[in-house]
Chain A
Amino acid sequence: MKKCAALLMAICLMVTFAVAASADASVYYLNFKPEQDAQWQELAKVYTEQTGVPVTVVTAASGDYEKTLMSEIEKSDPPTLFQVNGPVGLANWVDYCYDLSGTALMEHLTSDSFALKGDDGTVKGIGYVIETYGIIANKTILEKAGYKAEDINSFAKLKEVADDLQARKDELGIKGAFTSAGMDGSSDWRFKTHLANMPIYYEYKADGIGFTDAIKGTYLDNYKQIWDLYITDSTCDPALLASKTGNDAVAEFVNGEAVFYQNGTWAWNDIKALGAENLTMIPIYIGVEGEENQGLCTGIENYWCVNNSADQEDIDATIAFMEWCITSDEGRKSMSQDMGFVVPFDTFTGEYASANPLVAIDTAMTAAGKEPVSWNFPSIPSEEWKNGVGSALTAYAAGTGDWDAVVSAFVDGWATEYALSH
């Protein structure tokens, strides 16, 4: 009988610990950007072939990054490389960030301002992609209608053009001026985060600040103006926006059913079928005085952080992998050309400068003296705030809620969420 029991116990233990033996140093990257998932997987494979160090890339589903990171970081094999979106994101994860000062990454970083620092001055995160967004426009249709993108230099002008396009949509063979402002989880971040940056930017600028514990909402009427424009001069009934996905907007734009599409440089791969010569980008004008000189929105929302709770050898392997990404030919080619990133490291020059035409538009605009709009949404107090604003925008568009709810989600929500997270 004892033999039997011992055997059973042994089986139980074997099953339990069969996989417990851990491998040598390895890298586990929890990636935030689903658009580039395939390229990261490919790059990881190349690295493993060259060095023998296993690199696992997991991409969290859109809107699920925090959730995934939260449950993964607790595990016995936590991500060694993860991302935060800026100072606010860092505040939640600062205890997990390994000090990156003195690494080759810092050496090659083109400006210190692209690094996130802790209170003690150590480097907690390093930005690895500079992005730009605005309103991507289909030049061909615009010209067919008798307009030039360069002439659109204010909200009033934008509205005039959009209204006219909308009125003549049958003649022009389009379904609307703007692509559907989908509020599905795959697309709502374009409005609850990126578009929301505009009123935040102007308020910060007017007050001369970089973050706040209580937003006043000075420019919310402008936010309403642009949102109204998006949902009225659109390819679809505003009531349907809740279920419209990012794919829908891409399809409309690529099929030439809409002229304007608010998105950024990362969307290039989706829309390149239209051809670079047919595309341009215009700033998001919201009707603020002096906006003729406003440029596109440029900033960093993706910072690499190395998990300090990982084993030291995994940490070293991770840093080696990151350095390889920005110095090796394969890494540089993948990041600049395949992923289409503008990478803020001095190793990306010459043939490794970004090949993304949307980036070229931004460069030209900045060179022409337009003032880039900074990304202030990383100072948004929490994801919860974005969700609140997003829901209110959706309800307002559908007519089931009013604008006051947006204002309340924007202003009161900010104060509440700020208080909760501090």
Chain B
Amino acid sequence: MMKTAKKTYHDGAVSGTKRVVDVLLSVLLALLSVAWMYPVLLILLNSLKLETAISTTSVFELPLGDKFVGLDNYIHGVTKMNFLSSFAYSAVITITSVLLILLCCSMCGWYITRVNSAISKAMYLLCVFSMVVPFQMVMFTLSKTADTLRLNTPFNICIVYLGFGAGLAVFMFTGFMKSVPVAIEEAAMIDGCNPVQIFFKVVFPILKPTMITTAILETMWVWNDYLLPTLVLDIKHYRTIPMAIQYFRGSYGRVEMGPMMACIMITVIPIIIMYLACQKYIIDGVIAGAVKG
């Protein structure tokens, strides 16, 4: 529809200049895209270099000749830092947290929209409020609370994420529910369904688009989160990917740039693949999230 509109309002005389502008624009955009990808490419190239060949002066040199070490940095980084277990912990935390948030917050959001009580209103306001509060406000007390309750493993830290991430999710779900007519649910009730059945049989399928949107926004947050797991997780046993990358900077005299860049690549590549695979959902999710917010 948009394209037809364009064709009609640009008459023949203008389209000549338009074509020139478009060609110029294409060239510019192509250049910009290459520049945009360059930082990732740079890390990729350096991750294939010999450790001693990496320094601020030689960072732009290509990994050629005896500077090329193949996948050595990858093997070293993965084995030494136990990077695969970090990867697994990050995955477990992200999956459980997002699933829990989706389930609990969709139920909560439905309840808030369908029940008009003081508790509902208070809950809604609190959720909106919690979206504004910076993490630094609660970081110290939250880590203390989570520790007391033993919410410090990758398997139950999802409760902390549900608590701190509920605001946005509930907000998204209530925003969507408000526009859904109540009639179908009432029909189901007359058919003898109880509210739990109504929710899972009738409401749940309707919520699917919002589920995807919320899942994407929450996944991006949890997967990349650094400070919350650093403070809450039991560091004796667990380290997520962002924590592992940060830990590379540690150790007296042992900042190993090669393996560090290799691990950065291992972190970035799955993100790129996932993004290319579900690009449509991610971008729609961002747009939907923005409209609601």
Question: Are B252 and A248 within 8 A (Cβ)?
Answer: no
Do A186 and B147 form a contact, CB below 8 Å, given A240-B56, A243-B56?
no
Interface string of B106-117 (1 = CB under 8 A from A): 000000000000
Can you sample 5 A-B contacts with CB below 8 Å?
Answer: A12-B159, A59-B250, A75-B152, A186-B253, A247-B257
Interface string of B223-261 (1 = CB under 8 A from A): 000000001001111000000001101111111110000
Do A37 and B236 form a contact, CB below 8 Å, given A16-B150, A71-B231, A76-B150?
no
Supply 11 further A-B pairs (C-beta < 8 A) apart from A74-B143, A186-B255, A247-B254: A1-B194, A15-B156, A15-B159, A16-B151, A19-B155, A34-B254, A74-B144, A77-B234, A186-B249, A246-B252, A251-B52
Interface string of A182-208 (1 = CB under 8 A from B): 001111010000000000000000000
Do A249 and B52 form a contact, CB below 8 Å, given A16-B151, A28-B236, A76-B147?
no
Q: Smallest CB–CB gap between A221 and chain B, Å?
A: 29
Interface residue? B148 (CB, 8 A):
yes
Interface string of A236-255 (1 = CB under 8 A from B): 00001001011111110001
Question: Are A61 and B150 within 8 A (Cβ)?
Answer: no
Q: Smallest CB–CB gap between B132 and chain A, Å?
A: 25
Do A16 and B159 form a contact, CB below 8 Å, given A75-B147, A246-B255?
yes
Contact of B249 among A61, A77, A240 (CB under 8 A): A61
Q: Which residues of A lie under 8 Å from residue B52 when comparing CB positions? A: 251, 255
Question: Are A245 and B255 within 8 A (Cβ)?
Answer: yes
Q: Smallest CB–CB gap between A72 and chain B, Å?
A: 7
Interface residue? B33 (CB, 8 A):
no
Q: How many residues of B contact A (CB 8 A)?
A: 35
Question: Are A16 and B251 within 8 A (Cβ)?
Answer: no
Interface string of B46-71 (1 = CB under 8 A from A): 00000110011100000000000000
Contact of B55 among A58, A60, A248 (CB under 8 A): A248
Contact of B235 among A62, A72, A76 (CB under 8 A): A72
Q: Shortest 8 CB-CB distances between A and B: which pairs?
A: A61-B250, A246-B253, A34-B251, A245-B255, A186-B255, A75-B147, A20-B150, A251-B52
Considering only CB atoms, which chain B residue lies closest to A65 in the complex? Answer: B250
Interface residue? B149 (CB, 8 A):
yes
Q: Which residues of B lie under 8 Å from residue A17 when comparing CB positions? A: 150
Contact of B253 among A35, A58, A68, A74 (CB under 8 A): A35
Contact of A68 among B57, B235, B254, B255 (CB under 8 A): B235
Interface residue? B153 (CB, 8 A):
yes
Give the docked Cα–Cα distance between A2 and B21 (Å): 68
Which A43-77 residues sit within 8 Å CB-CB of chain B? Answer: 56, 58-64, 68, 71-72, 74-77
Question: Are B234 and A33 within 8 A (Cβ)?
Answer: no
Do A186 and B236 form a contact, CB below 8 Å, given A15-B156, A71-B231, A255-B52?
no
Do A59 and B251 form a contact, CB below 8 Å, given A16-B149, A16-B150, A77-B234?
yes
Give the docked Cα–Cα distance between A267 and B247 (Å): 21
Interface residue? B190 (CB, 8 A):
no
Considering only CB atoms, which chain B residue lies closest to A1 in the complex? Answer: B194
Q: Smallest CB–CB gap between A189 and chain B, Å?
A: 8
Contact of A19 among B51, B150, B252, B254 (CB under 8 A): B150
Interface residue? A18 (CB, 8 A):
yes
Question: Are B56 and A247 within 8 A (Cβ)?
Answer: no
Q: Which residues of A lie under 8 Å from residue B196 when comparing CB positions? A: 4
Interface residue? A313 (CB, 8 A):
no
Interface string of B136-173 (1 = CB under 8 A from A): 00000001100111111101100100000000000000
Interface residue? A228 (CB, 8 A):
no
Q: Which residues of A lie under 8 Å from residue B150 when comparing CB positions? A: 16-17, 19-20, 76
Q: Which residues of A lie under 8 Å from residue B55 when comparing CB positions? A: 248
Question: Are B253 and A33 within 8 A (Cβ)?
Answer: no
Q: Which residues of A lie under 8 Å from residue B56 when comparing CB positions? A: 240, 243
Q: Which residues of A lie under 8 Å from residue B252 when comparing CB positions? A: 33-35, 62, 186, 189, 246, 266
Give the docked Cα–Cα distance between A16 and B152 (Å): 10
Considering only CB atoms, which chain A residue lies closest to B149 in the complex? Answer: A16
Which B174-217 residues sit within 8 Å CB-CB of chain A? Answer: 194, 196
Question: Are B236 and A58 within 8 A (Cβ)?
Answer: yes
Considering only CB atoms, which chain B residue lies closest to A250 in the complex? Answer: B253
Considering only CB atoms, which chain B residue lies closest to A252 in the complex? Answer: B52
Interface string of A5-29 (1 = CB under 8 A from B): 0000000100111111000000010
Question: Are A56 and B236 within 8 A (Cβ)?
Answer: yes
Q: Which residues of A lie under 8 Å from residue B151 when comparing CB positions? A: 16
Q: Smallest CB–CB gap between B98 and chain A, Å?
A: 16
Question: Are A34 and B250 within 8 A (Cβ)?
Answer: yes
Question: Are B235 and A58 within 8 A (Cβ)?
Answer: yes
Question: Are A247 and B256 within 8 A (Cβ)?
Answer: yes
Question: Are A270 and B253 within 8 A (Cβ)?
Answer: yes
Give the docked Cα–Cα distance between A176 and B236 (Å): 42
Which B55-106 residues sit within 8 Å CB-CB of chain A? Answer: 55-57
Q: Smallest CB–CB gap between B239 and chain A, Å?
A: 10
Question: Are B253 and A249 within 8 A (Cβ)?
Answer: yes
Question: Are A74 and B156 within 8 A (Cβ)?
Answer: no
Give the docked Cα–Cα distance between A18 and B158 (Å): 14
Q: Smallest CB–CB gap between B46 and chain A, Å?
A: 14
Q: Which residues of A lie under 8 Å from residue B246 when comparing CB positions? A: 61
Give the docked Cα–Cα distance between A64 and B249 (Å): 10
Give the docked Cα–Cα distance between A34 and B252 (Å): 6
Question: Are B236 and A19 within 8 A (Cβ)?
Answer: no
Give the docked Cα–Cα distance between A251 and B57 (Å): 15
Contact of B255 among A12, A58, A247 (CB under 8 A): A247
Question: Are A19 and B255 within 8 A (Cβ)?
Answer: no
Give the docked Cα–Cα distance between A337 and B229 (Å): 37
Q: Smallest CB–CB gap between B76 and chain A, Å?
A: 13
Question: Are B147 and A62 within 8 A (Cβ)?
Answer: no
Question: Are B254 and A186 within 8 A (Cβ)?
Answer: yes
Question: Are B251 and A186 within 8 A (Cβ)?
Answer: yes
Give the docked Cα–Cα distance between A245 and B252 (Å): 9
Q: Which residues of B lie under 8 Å from residue A77 when comparing CB positions? A: 234, 236
Q: Which residues of B lie under 8 Å from residue A12 when comparing CB positions? A: 159
Q: Smallest CB–CB gap between B17 and chain A, Å?
A: 49
Do A61 and B253 form a contact, CB below 8 Å, given A15-B159, A16-B150?
no
Give the docked Cα–Cα distance between A246 and B255 (Å): 7
Considering only CB atoms, which chain B residue lies closest to A76 in the complex? Answer: B147
Give the docked Cα–Cα distance between A71 and B152 (Å): 13
Q: Smallest CB–CB gap between B16 and chain A, Å?
A: 52
Q: Which residues of B lie under 8 Å from residue A59 when comparing CB positions? A: 250-251
Considering only CB atoms, which chain A residue lies closest to B143 in the complex? Answer: A71
Question: Are A62 and B159 within 8 A (Cβ)?
Answer: no
